[in-house]
Amino acid sequence: MGKKSNFSGLSRFVQEAFGDGSKNEGPPTSATPNKPITHPLIDVDERRPAKKRKIELLGAGWETYDASGLVPHYKEPKEVPDHLQKYFSQRKRYFSLYDEGCLLDEEGWYSVTPERIANQIAERCRCDTILDAFCGVGGNAIAFAKTCERVIALDTSPVRLALARHNAVIYGVADRIEFILADYISFAQAHLSRSKNVRTIDVVFLSPPWGGPSYLSSLPEQPIGQEATSGDVTPIDGGSHPEYSLSNIKPIHGAQLFQLSRDITCNIAYFLPRNTKLEEISALLAHPAKSENASDVNPSQMVEVEEEWMGSKLKALTCYFGGLVNGQEHLF
């Protein structure tokens, strides 16, 4: 193959239209690879200008943080898939600024914490540094950024992490959140293995995957070290749902997840399904913490279970431990 011409289609057309009529005429001898090619009648700069980034939902100046191309921003019910319709109808509960361009992926639609609940939890968790172990599309991280000096937000999905940062920009708090693409288990283990000079994490917020929208109706898996019994499926809320076991928590058993977090700090807020077995929650304090941050915790400490209601519906439970419990502030 011959060497490609140094002209674009437009410049070749210009030369042929305004040149001396010779179709075989080559580029001017004065032309160099780094110098624009000129013509007596028209200047054509062969250096193609930088492509302008398309301005999407966040507007000019925020293109770097704009995640508009990753997921759709639904505006009308007719645009929404059937299985997401009920979540879309509650979009303003999830993000009051949804119409400003907030984005959610499919998992985000059914797992994001409603904004009013997130704000209430954030008020309880006021501190210098909080770790949001499973940040998703950012509902809780945004709320924490309003009450805490620094938020460390983790997620294993680069898409959800980008959506979380996008949403944080809309709320004006992106500068207070450190978004990290990481697995919480690995992050926690690495944090615990480092020297004592690492930055202190005051509070850990756990809102791990519950197992998808079917968590209310699916039967719990067999708890670690226990045999499944008929008590695992005892209906609550008028007999409509079986009790939820911490063994269904992902990516590891919910009790193991708690113990790992308790080695970082005794101050933990654990966001759980509304039908979680209360005896399993209270049993979380049966094992002592290993870290120096929590070694002096009184074994008789309490756990405070807060019911999260939206209107007349109980949505979830937030379980507070350590210094987050009313009456145990001295443990913080």
Provide Rg for the chain, Cα atoms: 28
User: Residue 328 phi/psi, 5° resolution?
Assistant: -120, 25
Ranges of the chain with pLDDT below 50: 1-47, 51-53, 218-239, 295-297
Q: Give bridge partners of residue 236 from the DSSP assignment.
A: 241
Q: Angle formed by the axes of helices 115-124 and 139-147, to 10°?
A: 40
- Residue 57: per-residue pLDDT: 82
pLDDT at position 63, please? 83
What pLDDT is attached to residue 215?
53
Closest CA to 251 of 242, 263, 238, 260: 260
Judge contact between 259 and 252, C-beta under 8 A: no
User: Which residues are bridge partners to 178 per DSSP?
Assistant: 152
- Determine the pLDDT at residue 79: 97
Tell me the pTM.
0.76
H-state helical runs in 198-264: 254-262
The whole-angstrom separation of Cα 101 and Cα 84 is: 18
CA-wise closest residue to 247 among 213, 277, 206: 277
Token reading at 200:
């202190």
At residue 83, the pLDDT reads 94
Q: Per residue in 162-185, pLDDT tens?
A: 999 999 999 999 999 999 999 999
**E strands, 99-146, in order:** 129-132
